[in-house]
Chains A and B, each alone.
Chain A
Amino acid sequence: MRFPITVRSLGAPRLLLDETADEGEPASSEIVQIAEAAGIRGRGGAGFPLAVKLRSITAADLVIANGAEGEPTSVKDRFLLRERPALVLRGLRLAARAVGAGRACVYLSDHAAAVTLRRLAPDGVDIIEVPPGYVAGEETAAVRAIGGGPALPTAKPPRPWQSGILVCNVETLAQLALAARLGPAAYRMTGTADSPGTLLVTLSGAGRTPALFEVPYGVRLGDVVRSHLGRVDRVTGVLAGGFAGGLLPARALDLPLTHAAFAGVGSTLGCGAFVLLAGDCPIGVAAEVARFLDRENARQCGPCVKGLQGVAETLDRLVIGSATGEDVDRLERWGAALPGRGNCATPDAASVLIGSLFRHHRPLVRAHVGTACPACVPADFRIPVEET
């Protein structure tokens, strides 16, 4: 079956090209140098330099290609696993050789991709399928699930690399395979000096069918949106970085797609997924996201369980007009108290969301006190890519 989401590129496509040419094998010592010279950044959310990650690991035992895409507004990893599995497997083999790991596996929650990969994966590469879940793709959840436990995060330290386990997002590995094929100089011909190459971007919302784009790092978000919608003037705001980057005003369309630019406005580029708002009330959107985080958190860490429950209830009360000024003050205080309060970054995502509401929409939040909002309408931001 074809991938059910439209896939396009701005500029020359790389990941979207379906090339499976026979290629040479760089020596293991050369692979880290390729990652470093190409300047590959991790595509799982944090944008951490791949070469630094490869160098910091000692006595590597296992490499995990992480494709358990838990962000409901992103489809890029499932696209790569289903449609470019050879590229992902090649990147996984290169990473395993670079760190000298004897074991490798692909960790995912997409059954269609698992079927394809089980057919293609060479001996020694396990395909580990777990039920879909928001926190399943967190790196310690991946390690725990592969060890036979539930796909839920564990306390850090130790981070997986400190225990000889390298966890890389599947797009990061596909980019490593591309850099090895193109050579670092050609790899850097697109993108920016700080973030070379291309990245995959999922756009949804604004009443339009979602689409997946491959774009050079550094293009403006608005340029991708224009290509998607044909215009940008209908866009009144953006839910950025999956559910990790909060609600940004329409001027975020002027931001270049780099990790630094989004970090600079208190947000994150994250997994490159953006929900475009066209008249949707930001309070209603925040309430929807908070309900999701309240429902989908791991139920492990007290501050996250209790904090997100309170946040979701307060935002729901703002939507129906029953919240008080004290509720609003408490919501802002909770937002400031949530970062770092769990084993994974779910409370941090809620904090960014609340922080963005007060930073960009404070008068609107106050206007919801005691007044039901007609523009706060229920929405479902999940993008279905199940087989039909």
Chain B
Amino acid sequence: MRVAIDASVCDGKGYCKRFAPEVFDLDEWGYGKVVRDEVPADQQANAMAAVEACPMQAIRLV
């Protein structure tokens, strides 16, 4: 499983990091970034929760 954030949609709300801190982090400017290219099996539920929680719908499964 792989996830990506559309940088042009992300608004820096930070839900991704809150729901899946091992998959997402916030960058220097407070925008979400993917820190694990390949999401490990034990983090997939968290990553899916982040996908659903993101108020901008900026996270996609790729």
- A residues at B contact (CB < 8 Å): 153-155, 157, 298, 300-304, 306-307, 333-334, 337, 341-343
Contacts and interface: CB of A to CB of B under 8 A. Distances in A.
B33 interface: yes
Interface of B: 4, 6-12, 27-31, 33, 60, 62
Given A157-B62, A302-B12, A337 B7 contact: no
Q: Classify the secondary structure of B's interface with A.
A: loop
Given A157-B62, A302-B12, A343 B28 contact: no
Contacts, number: 45
Q: 9 tightest A-B contacts by CB?
A: A301-B7, A300-B8, A155-B6, A337-B28, A306-B29, A302-B31, A301-B8, A303-B31, A303-B29
A289 B12 CA distance: 27
Contacts of B31: 302-303, 341
B14 to A, nearest CB: 12
Q: Classify the secondary structure of A's interface with B.
A: loop
Given A303-B29, A303-B31, A334-B28, A157 B7 contact: no
Contacts of B7: 155, 300-304, 341-343
A306 B27 CA distance: 11
Nearest to A333: B28
A303 B4 contact: no
A301 B31 CA distance: 9
A341 B33 contact: yes
A301 B29 CA distance: 11
Contacts of B62: 157
Nearest to B12: A302
A298 B11 CA distance: 16
Contacts of A157: 4, 62
A300 B7 CA distance: 8
Nearest to A347: B7
17 contacts: A155-B4, A155-B8, A300-B7, A302-B11, A302-B12, A302-B29, A302-B30, A303-B27, A303-B28, A303-B31, A304-B7, A307-B28, A307-B29, A333-B28, A334-B28, A342-B8, A343-B8
Given A300-B7, A303-B28, 7 more contacts: A302-B7, A302-B12, A303-B27, A337-B28, A341-B33, A342-B8, A343-B7
